[in-house]
Amino acid sequence: MGALIGLALGVGLLLIWRSGSRRGVSRPTRNGWSQRRTLLLRQAGVAGVDSNQLLALQLGSGVAAFVVTLLVTATVSISACFALFGVAAPVVLVSRLRRRRTTELRELWPEIVDNLTSAVRAGLSLPEALSSLGIRGPEQLRGPFARFGSRYRASGRFMYCLDLLKDDLADPVADRICETLRVAREVGGTDLGRVLRTLSTFLREDARTRAELETRQGWTVNAARLAVAAPWAVLLLLATQQTTLEAYDSTTGASLLVGGGLMCAVAYRLMMRIGRLPEERRVLA
């Protein structure tokens, strides 16, 4: 009897330790940074590139900018400033691609939901309705749904393929749609069509409102970018004069460049933060 109690106590402690270790382990900061950059690339629609390759591209772009500016100006301090711009350029480009893709997808999600509603009303199962979007859905989103269809036909595991579809789409709206379909698959019922129609109406209203706000916000964003770029464009023009090159090669000139760069960065981030619209997060990922 004592051995049985001891065994039960040991198993209980083992289960408590296993559950606590999973929740308590925190990943290193580098992994979180890498995951954020990977998610950024995925949301931008850049396939076949991971965070390490993006970092290598940044370093290569920075070196190229440094060498080109050094050949033009023969000034190390100015070349170092433009090398930093070269390092930041790939991330800025990927961020712009992500914003553009998010705007495009915002207009396509209601159509996706309408196609799902029509397929469900026609009597198709949920896997068949999702797979059909790889053929009849919007062209920009046919790839992920076609891959879902291939995975489901190969494995027959709907929930697993649905999770992979969420990872492929990497979008908050897609998460809501997938979770709605997951609940409908698990619970069943006849309200799926009505829920999808309500979701489609909500998505259309949200896209229309956000488009109006982004149109009004555009002049603020463009003004912030112009205000930051103008001093450095002037600096590049002045760097063609020998007296300017000698001035910025000194300690005072280098300090002036560092101070100006910090002020531009802080002012740009502050202006973008003030004028930024709230972005929907992937709380269901």
Q: What is the pLDDT of residues 179-214, one digit of tens each?
A: 888 887 777 666 777 888 888 888 888 888 888 877
Q: Which residues of the chain are under the pLDDT cut of 50?
A: 20-30
The pLDDT assigned to 192 comes to 75
Examine residue 279 and state whether it is found in any structural domain, yes or no. no
- For position 23, what pLDDT does the model report? 38
Number of domains the chain contains? 2
User: Is residue 186 domain-shared with residue 239, that is, in the same domain?
Assistant: no
| Residue 126 forms part of a structural domain | yes
Q: Tell me, what's the pLDDT at 127?
A: 87
In which domain, by residue range, is 161 found?
108-207
Question: Are residue 122 and residue 134 in the same domain, yes or no?
Answer: yes
Locate all alpha helices (DSSP H) within the chain, ordered by sequence. Answer: 2-24, 29-43, 51-73, 76-121, 126-136, 142-155, 158-169, 172-187, 192-238, 242-248, 251-274
What is the pLDDT, as a whole number, of residue 150?
Answer: 92
* The two structure tokens encoding residue 282: 């992937």
Q: Which residue among 186, 207, 228 closes a domain?
A: 207
Does residue 285 sit within a domain? no
pLDDT at residue 59, as a whole number = 92
Asked if residue 184 and residue 117 are part of one domain, the reply reads yes
Same domain, 183 and 197: yes
pLDDT at 21: 39
Which of 155, 172, 207 is at the close of a domain?
207
**Are 184 and 264 contained in the same domain?**
no
CB 126, CB 181: distance < 8 Å: yes
- pTM for this entry: 0.66
- Please indicate, yes or no, whether residues 53 and 134 belong to a single structural domain of this protein: no
Same domain? 116 vs 172: yes
